[in-house]
Amino acid sequence: MKPPAGICFCLANQTLAENVSLAAKVRKHVDLLELRVDALLPEEAGRAGELVRRVDLPVILSVRRRKEGGAFPGPEEERLRLLERLAPQGFAFVDLEHDLEAHELDRRIREAGAGVIRSLHDPAGVPSDLAERMRTLARSATEFPRATVTPRGGADLLRLLEALEALARLPKALFGAGDCGFPTRILGGKLGSRFCTVEDPETADLLYRCRKIGAATRVYGVIGNPVMHSLSPVIHNRGFAALDLDAVYLPFLVDDLEPFFRAAEKLDIRGLSVTVPHKVDVMSWLAKRNDPVSAIGACNTIHRLDAGGWAGWNTDGAGFLAPLLAAFGGKLPRGLGATVIGAGGAARAVVHALAGNGARVLVLNRTLDRAHALAEGLRAAGVSLHVGPLDEAGVKLMDGFNDLIVQTTRVGMAPHADSDPLPGYSFSGRETAYDLVMTQFLKRAGAAGCRTIVGSRMLLAQAFEQFRIFTGIPYPQEAAQGIFSPAAED
């Protein structure tokens, strides 16, 4: 039987009715279904073949053992008997584990005209001999090899990509589970997998355009930790789609830059957005940098040079200023006093932008040494500022620096939404409050009558500039409509 292809979606609800309903919802976004019979209620498992007759897509039969991350509760003999009974009931493919010995089941599958997917599942990591094991996984030309492994960090992802590279000519499906493995599930068409399994078929199909990804697709993304919550993939992929560019933008969970940049070579990544905690450390990887990067000491955008290596930009400053200048009629008031909460990479860009537009700046940070380090780093670029601790003493320093208050930290974000990034400060209502990450700080300021600016506006402005750097084309503004809820754009 011809190997399966396209987007595969796994049905793992407890009842057949629920699975049939779910299959109908995702139908237009998938090409293949996998029914996890081990997830069904015991009284429903024996009737699993009924689902095949109620959906109009090929279905993989899978009864997964616990040691491979499955849920089948009984002994192995009982599982094999169930597979034997179900194999002839119209399934297009039957998933059999790599260590399953020749069995009556093989004959039943052949007689039913179904294909065999011979699989390897490693929920604990990425085997060092993955490529070798994949080559010997299929026992005949009629079997199709599939493996799902679990990268735990950048080194594991690199090992997985090296295996995919070594297996370039082998028909297969090989991808990583979890957040670290996410890129391999989306980039199946570029990495040589015949099909890939996705958790959200609509997003995989419409946002990432999985079905159109091929060897020539240009790869971009955002690196950070955490990063899976980022809206940057929505912004950039909408832009690519509007311009019909063969490109895709992904989130990359990065714990260690060294193995990641080696992985980036395997993926032929063309450009990256950089978010916390890598905006400073990524600078050591740059062959070229623009003036703001050198002055700020942080980089949020890198792009591959034609001659090799990476060039770095910082679009945070321009992105920060765009909505702020709009709020003040195109120019900051003379002598504006501003307090910046935080001393990370984003704060550096904010301080540099404010000082460059004539503002007097105070930086408050919980770790005072970091605030002093920020001031020292910017002094070489001609930026002078005041610093203080983020406590009662620091709040007292804000007198004269509170025309504008900019919140750059993640304090106050879920799951710690009750935390206050600016404790001890009472808004008078005359301040302009600007929150880069949308915490309780902004809600408190709005309740006091302050003018507020949400970080979503900065995110869009800096992303538009990144898009231009990546593609050489202005971002199609209509593609950004509706990305944020009305509340997030107020």
pLDDT digits (tens, 9 = 90+) for 43-55: 999 999 999 999 9
Check residue 490 and give its pLDDT: 46
489's tokens? 């754009």
Q: Which amino acid is at 373?
A: A
Find out if CATH 3.40.710.10 is the number for domain 317-458: no
Check residue 487 and give its pLDDT: 46
Q: Residue 426, class by beta-carbon neighbours within 10 Å (0-12 exposed, 13-18 middle, 19+ buried)?
A: exposed
Beta-sheet pairing, 432-435 with 6-11: unpaired
DSSP conformation class of 11: E
Over range 21-30, report the average pLDDT. 97
Check residue 485 and give its pLDDT: 57
> Is pLDDT of 178 > 90?
yes
CA distances from 274 to 312, 359, 360 (A): 10, 27, 28
Find out if CATH 3.40.228.10 is the number for domain 6-214: no
What integer best gives the mean pLDDT of the chain? 93
List the strands of the sheet with 173-176, edge to edge.
Answer: 173-176, 143-149, 115-121, 93-97, 59-62, 32-36, 6-11, 195-197
Q: How far apart are CA 262 and CA 409, in angstroms?
A: 30
Check residue 165 and give its pLDDT: 97
Percentage of residues of the chain with pLDDT beyond 90: 82
* DSSP E strands, 79-165: 93-97, 115-121, 143-149
Q: How confident is the model at residue 268 (pLDDT cuts 50, 70, 90)?
A: very high
Check residue 488 and give its pLDDT: 47
Beta-sheet pairing, 310-313 with 301-304: antiparallel
Q: How confident is the model at residue 107 (pLDDT cuts 50, 70, 90)?
A: confident
Over range 389-413, report the average pLDDT. 93
302 vs 424, residue with greater confidence:
302
31's tokens? 């090409």
Check residue 142 and give its pLDDT: 86
Q: Where are the domains of the chain?
A: 6-214, 317-458
Check residue 101 and give its pLDDT: 81
Q: How far apart are CA 362 and CA 379, in angstroms?
A: 14
| Model pLDDT for residues 194-210, shown as the tens digit of each residue | 998 999 999 999 999 99
Q: CB atoms < 10 A from the CB of 310, how many? A: 21
Over range 4-33, report the average pLDDT. 96
Would you call 279 a catalytic residue per the annotation?
Answer: yes
> Is pLDDT of 93 > 50?
yes
- 291 three-class SS: helix
End-to-end, the C-alpha distance of the chain in Å comes to: 55
> Is pLDDT of 42 > 90?
yes
Range name among 21-30, 188-197, 375-384 with the lowest pLDDT average: 375-384
Q: Name the active-site residue from 28, 190, 279, 443.
A: 279
Using alpha carbons, select from 92, 140, 146, 99 the residue that is nearest to residue 118.
146
Over range 315-322, report the average pLDDT. 94
Over range 5-11, report the average pLDDT. 95
pTM confidence score = 0.90
| Model pLDDT for residues 450-488, shown as the tens digit of each residue | 999 999 999 999 999 999 999 999 999 999 998 885 444
Q: How confident is the model at residue 414 (pLDDT cuts 50, 70, 90)?
A: low
Check residue 346 and give its pLDDT: 86
- For 424: left if phi > 0, alpha if psi spans -120 to 50, otherwise beta; the answer is left
176 phi, psi to nearest 5 deg: -105, 145
Helix axes 154-166, 257-267, angle to 10 degrees: 30
What per-residue string of b and e applies to 275-288 under the rule 16 or more CB within 10 Å gives b? Answer: bbebbbebbebbee
Check residue 445 and give its pLDDT: 96
| Model pLDDT for residues 337-364, shown as the tens digit of each residue | 999 999 988 898 999 999 999 999 999 9
Check residue 297 and give its pLDDT: 87
